[in-house]
A and B are shown apart, each in its own frame.
Chain A
Amino acid sequence: MVDLGAGSSGKASRFVCPNDRQLALRAKLKTGWSVKTGSLASFSSAPTLNQPLGEDEHDAIVNVIQRAEKMDVTEQERVGKLVERLENMRRNALGRGPNQCLLCGDTFGILGPQKVRCVDCGRWACQRCAIDKLSSGKSPCSTKDHYLCMICAETREIWKKSGAWFFKSIPKYILPMDSRFKRNRSMRVSRRYRDDESSSDDERKVQPWIRQRRNSGTESTHEVPDQDSSNYSLTNNVRQASASNLQLSKELEPLRNYMGSMNLSTDPKSWDESTIAENRAGEANDGTETSRRESMASRSMSDWNWSDTKSSDEKLSPSTCSIKSSVEITEQKPVDTSMGIIELSLNYDQATNILHCTVYRAKNLIPMDIGGLSDPFCKLNILPNAKVSTRLRTKTVHKTRNPEFNENLTFYDITEEDLAKKALHVLVVDDDRYGHDYMGEVRIKLAKLRVQNTIYLTVPLENLRPEQKGPLPAPELNQWFDFDLWSRGQILISLCYSTKKRALLVTIKKCANLLPMDNNGFSDPFVKLQLKPDPYHRKHKTSVKWKNLNPIYNEEFAFETRPTELYMQSLYITVFDKDYGKSNDYLGGLILGGSGSKGQRLKHWLDMIRYPDHRHDQWHNLTEDVLE
């Protein structure tokens, strides 16, 4: 929300009393004062000049802001549609290699289509799959380079249509699929309320929940539309739901059969029933991608449809009794797909004690970079008692929130005893030079494999890790998760954009677990700071803390800049060991910024821009990569 600034419109911000920044700009413009202090009367004639906003004014403004937010959501959905269209186009591109058209896959040749090179991406397309820039635009190019492949043409269109050309990056958007997920979630909650209080007034019930979610302060990338529009979407849901009820009775049939046949009573606690339900539903629809998406939607509907059947217990046939138990568990832990879902299969070979794990894909992962994409990979381990030998990872799939891993990972020496006690831990992480960010995890109990050799799973990722609060990793999990990344130590930084000083204030608070570089087992660390790009090439340095691996600095530095510039700038933080007589040893580095960083580092940066005049403290890991 916008800071209404009721209190801050004090004397300091008065128009006729500009600060240094404005004076500097004035000097640049080579103009003098245009407002004379003598004519101030016209400004201050309003008696309410410096009074805080009244109740009605406040309401009026909030009303406008809400209208604007509603529009923004519509706009984000529109951009989301455009982005999805482009993504589909990219995905459907058939061309492999330079002899084929990038899009349709036709082979070039004397008899085949003539090839042209796309100006933007430099790849080859046939003339049918490219457009002539000269005929559409007016810009005169050299004779050869005037073709755009359809994908690049579409990309340009998106840049125009979304306003990205102006803001230099694609704005926030909501993919059509996301909004469906969101709707399902709000629907489930409404149902829960109904169960609790048997009231039919869904609409009023959902609102407090939404409000509560907004106030909770968690940073969600896809904002829930404000209250009025949630009313609207809710009525939609209800309609949608009632329409799907008919369909559901059909869809549920195979599920019921499966649930009935399954032997849940053998080990009811060792297995999360909801996962099986998920898994089955996913399997049943193992068709094209779209149908799978449909299944996601219908599945979560089926979740709450069961809670309906609960109320009519007596109608249940004996064969579906097992559903009842699963219903209760599903209700306790409503499936939350906000972190995305992952599909994998497990196969255990008793003869060789080998566990094969195939990670197929993940979907709808949380975005990490400023373009709303991620570079995910999975880390797999058998817990508890993690060993380095049981630590496996998939390859990284770049620039996507729906990665296709299709990778087979093998764990050796897994005894049947292990199966009973242990769980497979799957952790999805964002790959980034400056730190791997957490994108969710899931634990899968292996006990089920004792009964069944192969299982397929489609499970939602959970967010079990709160934001990194301190420098010391929690013992068990982090030991293997971050072992290789945390070796350079951590740094606690406070960022604050001061609107008064028009400057970014960076406080280097402390470092922890730095590497010892000197013979005495310590280092003499100091921190260098630089904002890039910066026309003034300012650099700052903290003092040196002698013989200390956990130095406390609490030193503040100011970089004068504008909020709009900050989106393009990055803060380079490097920690060195002070040495006399030879060059300083590099201890670790970190980049925070709009263009250069991702995940927690990006979030920290954006929070600083979004909420100026507040201190944002956060720990970050230092990387061993040497920053230029």
Chain B
Amino acid sequence: MMAGADPKWQKDAADQNFDYMFKLLIIGNSSVGKTSFLFRYADDSFTSAFVSTVGIDFKVKTVFRHDKRVKLQIWDTAGQERYRTITTAYYRGAMGFILMYDITNEESFNSVQDWVTQIKTYSWDNAQVILVGNKCDMEDDRVISFERGKQLAEQLGVEFFETSAKENMNVKAVFERLVDIICDKMSDSLDTDPNLMSGSGKGQRLTDAPQGPQTGNCNC
């Protein structure tokens, strides 16, 4: 659709000269800015016009991290409910999730919990998640405070960022942090689990993402 004919994209996608390949998935309610976020990161472009993503899309970007070339295949999903069957099919291949809400939209924040449930239902257990509050340039329309976001992230046991795709704030940081987390996970999983490679497939399953202390501050 958008990048299909782009020769640069093709070169990037066909390139085999990298060390690791991570598949990431951006999820969140409709119109929180997932596509803008991805375009900012991959193409460094931004448009404020809202075009709803049809089903799924992805972009490829190769980054350097710790002397390693990491190829990221970043999946952008449609937030709309009607595409849910398609989007959930891609959860299983994803190593990392960017769970996004819109700081000017209470509804999108309240849905975070449901998205977490979706992740737990469809993804591999050791997938990594980062919570992102987007559109933090729109300070005047803010309805979700930084603290509330932070608190929810702690509750879920994930890391938290506030970003702006429009002003290019923290966009790169989110991806870099996610890559770091996955890298850490990778070296841990091989060092701590020597049975893993013996091939029997009976290596211990990693448990669910650690759950933070239950503070009782329910955001309902």
From A42, A57, A60, give the contact of B107 (CB < 8 A).
A42
From A30, A75, A160, A167, give the contact of B190 (CB < 8 A).
A160
For the complex with contacts A53-B55, A166-B186, 12 further pairs of A-B residues with Cβ separation under 8 Å are A5-B86, A15-B84, A22-B117, A34-B110, A61-B54, A75-B21, A77-B16, A139-B191, A159-B190, A160-B186, A567-B201, A594-B201
In the complex the two chains form, is B220's CB within 8 Å of A33's CB?
A: yes
**Contact of A46 with B82 at beta-carbon distance under 8 Å, contacts A25-B121, A32-B220, A64-B56 already known:** yes
Does A155 sit within 8 A of B, measured CB to CB? yes
From A21, A35, A67, A160, give the contact of B111 (CB < 8 A).
A35
Residue of B nearest to A65 (CB): B56
Residues 110-131 of chain B, each 1 if its beta carbon lies under 8 Å from chain A, else 0: 1111101100111111100000
Interface segment, B137-145, B170-178, B192-200?
B192-200
A residues with a Cβ closer than 8 A to B are 2-5, 8-9, 13-15, 18, 21-22, 25-26, 29-35, 39, 42-43, 46, 48-51, 53, 56-57, 60-61, 63-65, 67-68, 70-71, 74-75, 77-78, 81, 119-120, 137-139, 155-156, 159-161, 163, 165-169, 370-371, 562-564, 567-568, 594-595
Does B19 sit within 8 A of A, measured CB to CB? yes
The 15 listed contacts between A and B (C-beta, < 8 Å) are A2-B86, A4-B85, A9-B83, A18-B117, A29-B116, A31-B113, A34-B219, A64-B56, A65-B56, A67-B13, A71-B13, A119-B194, A139-B191, A160-B190, A568-B205
Q: How far is the CB of B149 from chain A (nearest CB, A)?
A: 14
From B16, B20, B125, give the contact of A160 (CB < 8 A).
B20
Residue of A nearest to B194 (CB): A120
Q: Which residues of B lie under 8 Å from residue A77 when comparing CB positions?
A: 16
Q: How far is the CB of A176 from chain B (nearest CB, A)?
A: 12
Does B1 sit within 8 A of A, measured CB to CB? yes
Docked Cα-Cα span, A44 to B87, in Å, equals 18
Docked Cα-Cα span, A431 to B60, in Å, equals 42
Interface SS majority for chain B: mixed
Q: Which residues of B lie under 8 Å from residue A13 when comparing CB positions?
A: 84-85
Q: Which residues of A lie under 8 Å from residue B82 when comparing CB positions?
A: 9, 46, 48-51
Q: How far is the CB of B111 from chain A (nearest CB, A)?
A: 6
Q: How far is the CB of A538 from chain B (nearest CB, A)?
A: 18
Does B49 sit within 8 A of A, measured CB to CB? no
Does B95 sit within 8 A of A, measured CB to CB? yes
Does B4 sit within 8 A of A, measured CB to CB? yes
Q: Which residues of chain B in 73-111 are interfacial with respect to chain A, using CB atoms and an 8 Å cutoff? A: 73, 80-86, 89, 92, 95, 107, 110-111
From A42, A49, A71, A120, give the contact of B73 (CB < 8 A).
A71
Docked Cα-Cα span, A169 to B203, in Å, equals 10
Docked Cα-Cα span, A32 to B190, in Å, equals 37
In the complex the two chains form, is B121's CB within 8 Å of A120's CB?
A: no
Docked Cα-Cα span, A562 to B58, in Å, equals 26
In the complex the two chains form, is B201's CB within 8 Å of A568's CB?
A: yes
From A63, A119, A156, A567, give the contact of B1 (CB < 8 A).
A63
Residue of A nearest to B89 (CB): A2
Docked Cα-Cα span, A282 to B71, in Å, equals 41
Docked Cα-Cα span, A156 to B192, in Å, equals 13
Does B57 sit within 8 A of A, measured CB to CB? yes
